[in-house]
Amino acid sequence: MKKFHSKLLFLFVFVFSSSISAATLYEDALNRGINPTCAEYLNQIESSYNLNGINLTFANPSETSLFPSLHISSQKYNNGSAILSATLIPDEEYCYLSTVLVTSINNQTCGEITQLKLEIDPELKVSNYADGGYTIIAPKDNSYQIILTSASEIGCTMAETRMIWPGK
């Protein structure tokens, strides 16, 4: 049974993903035929996060403009790494979007990161759990949430999540 699941997973990845390439997520989306509105959102995300790592795209091989697609970019830094995952859900001329950006930081504590975020926006809501092992940071409108997880004495993992539903 385990062999069956492994083969099924391999087949799924092979059929629904493109090869790893240095192209931008936006260029890859256009080449794959992703819904134009969704592709434009992806371009905006890519620009705002300044992504320039290695990219993967998962999309339906026959109806790419009609079905959801998953776009992943992984980037390496001198003090850690980051992975962005964006799910685009087309709806005619609209597109719904969810993103998760996970950043691993090797030389800053979660407390230091929290302080930096509060210096930028003192009105952020901060909640701590499990004796400071987890911190959730969110703006008043809850448009996004950041979850900080202590990874070591001087390391922190930061996960930023968003969901966007543009109005019709």
What is the structure's pLDDT at 123?
A: 96
What is the structure's pLDDT at 153?
A: 86
What is the structure's pLDDT at 131?
A: 85
What is the structure's pLDDT at 20?
A: 42
**Ranges under pLDDT 50 in the chain:** 4-22
Extract the tokens encoding 54.
């290695």
Contacts of 112 (CB under 8 A, 6+ apart): 156
Task: Please compute Rg for the chain using Cα positions.
Answer: 18
The SS3 assignment for 65 reads coil
What is the structure's pLDDT at 167?
A: 64
Contacts of 155 (CB under 8 A, 6+ apart): 104, 105, 106, 107, 108, 109
